[in-house]
Chain A
Amino acid sequence: MTVSGPIGIEEARATAALRGRRQRRGEVALAAALLAPSLAVFGVFTFYPLLRTIWLGFFLQDPFGLRSRWVGLDQYRDVLGSADFLNSLEVTFLFALYTVPTSLAAGLALAVLADQHLPGMRIFRTIFASTVATSVAVASLLWLVLLQPSAGLINQFLDAIGRDPVDLLNDPDTALPAVAATTVWQNLGVVFIVTLAAMQSIPEVLHESAKVDGHGTWSRFRHITLPMLGPQLLFLTVVLTINAFQSFGQIDILTEGGPSESTNVLVYSLVQTLPIDPGRAAAQAVVLFVVIGVLSFVQFKWLDRRVHYG
């Protein structure tokens, strides 16, 4: 300390540094305390189970669940090669294919309809958003009024016009599309809410100037609305695809995986395996995790390049 300032300032600096250090240590302790509850829950119910699930997949359990034997990757290979798994994978992909594009298109159409300035529009918006309030169990059961073979309305209607009754949920060709219809209906609300909110944040001036340039309704939708909705449509595509790969409730209530395994999606098959063979269920769970992860990654990579972030 060659340059000597007034002693008071030196002292003040020293105590300020000391206080700073103490304060910083206090901040770290406070941060630890604030994060602890969340970290504890995530640790026990998200990260530990993920690691242990991968680990369990390496063990083969005997039929009575008494002993388990290390088999390395064999169980994973076994799951990946089994006819049951391949069927479930195919069914789940089909389910996503039936539900995701239709939900997006229908929800978007509702948003376009509701994005007008007319009196009473609030009522229509509430109606279009209403399916967001339904749970998977409620949505499935509501549709049972239509689909149920003996008292369901579809068959009442067919009967009234003199056609033969159908049993859509009991026919391997129609069961999956019928379940998908209930899911599309349930998805309408969330797609509507997210896309309408995005549409309303598009500056009015864009539409006005396009109108002046002689662009019609369709042209403005195609060249202004749709590109501006890019980020939301990407978000919804990924979320709805993940949801489709996690679907369980609608299958559990409407078809129980049947008829002849035509609706046995990945999660339904996993839950059925769980009480019988936890080791195999663990391997199935890991495969499900990888499939969802890869799919989300590919969608983000592939779609992100096409999305315009305004």
Chain B
Amino acid sequence: MADLARRARWRRRLSIGARYLLLVVVAALVLFPIYAAVMVSQKPLTALGDLDVLVPDSPDLGGFADAFDDSNMTRYLLNSLIVSVLITAGQVVTSILAGYAFAALRFPAKAALFYLFLATLMVPGEVNIVVNLETIQRLGWIDSYQALVVPFLAFAVGTFLLRQAFLGIPQDLRDAAAMDGYGHWGFLTRVAVPLARPTIAGLSVFSFLLAWNQYLWPLVVTNDDDFRTVQIGLRALRDEAGSNLNLLMSATILASLPILVVLVLFERQLIRGLTAGSIKG
């Protein structure tokens, strides 16, 4: 009897050990490109061209210094930050406004307008690039923050998420607010928006991530290095740096650091943002 229990306990421990081993191996595989890039970024150029580059050593941060000195990295990062913050703030505001209209107001053609909003999700930005570039040129917005921000100031996913959040507010609260003399605007700003904070947080993280990672649009509407976002800066650096992998990887890591910080700080909000569309929808 005792023997059997001991054997079962052993088998259990063994199985837990095997599961951890599998997890560690798979995690190492997933992380490998990132690990390799971090190692390469910290080695002097002369150390490249050898597998030893993968062995951690006292870090040489010359690549990072070069990334700042030899390229416009500071400018690129600043541009990305400005553009992403503006897009995020803009999308949150327009989504709150439109989401409230769809959730709480009665007006003609409401359903049709709601479908029109959702229809924007069916039109890939790549399809509109020909005419949108023409529009930006006509406005004289090539190489400007407006060009990078304004086309993204409305977001159907955000409108949908906030509509859902506002619909979830109990009617009792609405009635109570009306008793206290709040109109729609008072109710929206003092009751609805504070209650929808979790949704707004999720949307913000999601919007910031999408804005920070944009590629094609910033590439097309900027020629001047001073207006390039960091993604486009990386592309330029790839052409300039050639096989100088240590400079290139330093720049790549710098470009992902802000997003990594956002991911670590707001993982829960991001997951809510990413899964809301697929689970509640």
Contacts and interface: CB of A to CB of B under 8 A. Distances in A.
Interface of A: 24, 27-28, 30-32, 34-35, 37-42, 44-50, 52-53, 56, 110, 113-114, 116, 118, 124, 126-139, 141-146, 148, 150-153, 156-157, 160, 185, 188, 190, 193-194, 197-198, 201, 231-232, 235-236, 242, 245-246, 248-249, 252-253, 267, 270-271, 274, 278, 281-282, 285-286, 288-289, 292-293, 296
Nearest to B132: A49
B101 A34 contact: yes
B171 interface: no
B169 interface: no
A261 to B, nearest CB: 19
Nearest to A249: B215
Interface residues of B, number: 91
B64 interface: no
- Most chain-A Cβ atoms within 10 A of its Cβ — which of B98, B135, B209? B98
6 contacts: A35-B113, A113-B26, A128-B26, A231-B279, A248-B216, A282-B131
A124 B267 contact: no
A296 B37 CA distance: 36
Contacts of A114: 23
B132 A45 contact: yes
B278 A270 contact: no
B131 A137 contact: no
A44 B141 CA distance: 14
A50 B34 contact: no
B27 A128 contact: yes
B214 to A, nearest CB: 8
B154 A42 contact: yes
A56 B126 contact: no
A34 B98 contact: yes
Interface of B: 16, 19-20, 22-23, 26-27, 30-31, 33-34, 36-37, 40, 48-51, 53-54, 93-95, 97-98, 100-101, 105-108, 110, 113, 116-117, 120, 122-135, 150-154, 159, 184-185, 209, 212-213, 215-216, 219-220, 231-232, 234-235, 238, 243, 245, 248-249, 252, 255-256, 259-260, 262-264, 267, 270-271, 274-275, 277-279, 281
B184 A127 contact: no
Contacts of B106: 24, 27-28, 31
B92 to A, nearest CB: 12
B19 A116 contact: yes
A127 B37 CA distance: 16
A131 B126 contact: no
A156 B36 contact: no
A289 B127 contact: yes
Given A35-B101, A118-B19, A153-B54, 17 more contacts: A41-B152, A42-B117, A50-B127, A127-B27, A132-B270, A136-B213, A137-B234, A137-B255, A138-B255, A141-B234, A141-B238, A145-B37, A235-B278, A267-B126, A274-B133, A285-B128, A292-B124
Contacts of A156: 49-51, 53
Top 6 A-B residue pairs of the complex, sorted by shortest distance between their CB atoms? A135-B213, A49-B131, A41-B154, A38-B154, A49-B128, A34-B101
Contacts of B116: 42
Contacts of A148: 243, 245
Contacts of B243: 148, 150-151
B6 to A, nearest CB: 22
A201 B276 CA distance: 13
Given A34-B98, A150-B49, A278-B134, A28 B107 contact: yes
A146 B274 contact: no
B231 A289 contact: no
Given A38-B97, A126-B267, A137-B215, A45 B127 contact: no
A303 B26 CA distance: 30
Contact of B23 (A31, A38, A124, A296): A124
B278 A194 contact: yes
A144 B117 contact: no
Given A148-B245, A274-B129, A124 B256 contact: no
A38 B105 contact: no
Contact of B123 (A41, A194, A289): A289
Nearest to B33: A142
B275 to A, nearest CB: 4
Contacts of B185: 30
- Most chain-B Cβ atoms within 10 A of its Cβ — which of A32, A49, A245? A49
A64 to B, nearest CB: 17
B3 to A, nearest CB: 26
Contacts of A235: 277-278, 281
Given A129-B267, A141-B252, A142-B252, A46 B128 contact: yes
Contacts of B153: 37, 41
A193 B271 contact: yes
A47 B154 CA distance: 13
